[in-house]
Chains A and B, each alone.
Chain A
Amino acid sequence: MFLDVLIWPFVVMYTVVFLIILGIITASVVGVVIVIQKKRKQEKDPEILPKPEEDVKKDA
């Protein structure tokens, strides 16, 4: 029954879309991990923390 109703172009399309969704989700998780590592690095090395005064000037 399962194979009877399969329409291969749709199966390929569904699979491709599934992989795209999974890829974007994975990319965002990797993004968070990278951000956390960057922040931890900054916390360990206070010299590379941006100074508040500089930020205020930049924003202005």
Chain B
Amino acid sequence: MKDRTKFLLMCLAHFVADGAAVATLYKITQDIYTTAIAVILYDILAFTVQPLLGIMTDFKKVASLFLVSGLLLIAFGSFISFIGIVAQAVFLGFGNALAHVGGFAIAKSASKDDMTSLGLFVAPGALGVGIGTLFPEVSVALAILSAIVALIYALYYFFGKERIFVPVVSLKKPDVFRVDWVLLSVVLIVVLLRGFCGTIATGQYIVSGTSGQLAIYLAIFLGKAVGGFLADRIGIVRITMVGFFPSLIGLVFFRDVEILYVFSIFLFNFTMPLTLFMAIRALRGFPVFAFGMTAAILFLGTYVGDWLKNVFRAPWYLILALLAISVCGIVYSYQRTVKNIQREKGGLSNVS
């Protein structure tokens, strides 16, 4: 299988994994307590387990095994409604984490070390969540598609040159493992604040039906994809200034105007591939762990934001201040990343 085909298949896998899992959860209607427990259990497994699975993926050749088993678990979890929503949530959550980690590792190895690829891989997830949330009736179709993608990939490995389930020798080069904890902390704080602010700064307009909600998911999808593409061409600092910075104005002052809010969401998501790129740079030798860590921290920010949103209406200046800190964090992380690259290569970098 060509690298490009493999990469596109991983993007599709990301879309169906999120779509099938979320659609199944939204389709089931139970009492509020059971549903709350199921959703929380799903979220914990789907997001926070990713860094732990990421460490394993960075050291053992288990990416394909994770991807295939994750997609099959999601498909299986979608069909076994008779075992109860909580048990289903366990299958869906763990399957989702496996599919994400495995899919990212494969997509990363099949693509260039750039932000365009990162953006293109993470973007379909938002579309999957959107389709799953708004059209839960398609859960069966997405579950079948999930199994088909798993089957295609498994067949490729069984009949291709590469093999799954074979452990690989750990990396041995002395300079391969280098963790910049300061850079990592700053990037993760940015991710945390973005998740938190993105949740508390929700639109204050009357959503124009399903199409209005779909527009938000499309904006997230396009923001991630376009953000990575533009960042590779015009640079991290410029994309932050022309994309992320203007989005703050829309998210803080024009939350009651639908078109401006949706456009701000589009710009706001430009930074997603950038922070992932810098997290990977901060954790040399642990790219999949870095991916899992950003997912877990983003979830933590979203979770806290969601919690506070119910009991506390955040004032505009708090949101603006937190987002301004994010901008400073991105600029600082960029400068530190460039310094690290220059130190490693002993010359000028072309990251910007």
Chain A interfacial positions (CB closer than 8 Å to B): 2, 5-6, 13-14, 17-18, 20-22, 24-25, 27-29, 31-32, 35-36, 39-40, 42-43, 49-50, 52, 55, 58-59
Asked if B172 lies at the interface with its beta carbon under 8 angstroms from chain A, I say yes
Task: Sort A-B residue pairs by CB-CB distance and give the 6 closest, nearest first.
Answer: A28-B51, A24-B48, A55-B169, A43-B174, A28-B52, A21-B48
Q: Would A25 and B303 count as touching, CB distance under 8 A?
A: no
Nearest CB of chain A from residue B251's CB, rounded to whole Å: 24
Q: Known interface pairs A25-B296, A39-B177, A43-B174. Does A59 touch B166 (Cβ–Cβ under 8 Å)? A: yes
Can you name the residue of chain B whose Cβ is closest to the Cβ of A23? B48
Nearest CB of chain B from residue A47's CB, rounded to whole Å: 13
Contacts of A5 in B (CB 8 A): 310-311
How many CB-defined contacts (below 8 Å) exist between A and B? Answer: 74
Asked if B49 lies at the interface with its beta carbon under 8 angstroms from chain A, I say yes
Contacts of A31 in B (CB 8 A): 51-52, 55
Chain B interfacial positions (CB closer than 8 Å to A): 36, 40, 44, 47-49, 51-52, 54-55, 59, 166-167, 169-172, 174, 177, 179, 283, 286, 289, 292-293, 296-297, 299-300, 303-304, 307, 310-312
Can you name the residue of chain B whose Cβ is closest to the Cβ of A25? B296
Interface residue from A18, A39, A40 paired with B304 (Cβ < 8 Å): A18
Q: Would B303 and A21 count as touching, CB distance under 8 A?
A: yes
- A sample of 10 cross-chain residue pairs with beta-carbon separation below 8 angstroms, ordered by A number, consists of A13-B36, A18-B300, A21-B303, A29-B293, A31-B51, A32-B179, A35-B55, A36-B177, A39-B171, A42-B172
CA distance in complex: A52, B98 (Å): 29
Q: Would B52 and A20 count as touching, CB distance under 8 A?
A: no
Nearest CB of chain A from residue B107's CB, rounded to whole Å: 21
Nearest CB of chain A from residue B272's CB, rounded to whole Å: 19
Q: Known interface pairs A5-B310, A35-B59, A39-B170. Does A28 touch B289 (Cβ–Cβ under 8 Å)? A: yes
Can you name the residue of chain A whose Cβ is closest to the Cβ of B173? A43
CA distance in complex: A52, B172 (Å): 11
Can you name the residue of chain A whose Cβ is closest to the Cβ of B52? A28
Interface residue from A13, A21, A55 paired with B296 (Cβ < 8 Å): A21
Q: Known interface pairs A25-B297, A25-B300. Does A59 touch B52 (Cβ–Cβ under 8 Å)? A: no
Contacts of B312 in A (CB 8 A): 2
CA distance in complex: A14, B300 (Å): 12
Contacts of A50 in B (CB 8 A): 169
Among the interface residues A5, A13, A24, A50, which one has the most CB atoms of the partner chain B within 10 A?
Answer: A24
Interface residue from B170, B296, B311 paired with A28 (Cβ < 8 Å): B296
Contacts of B166 in A (CB 8 A): 59
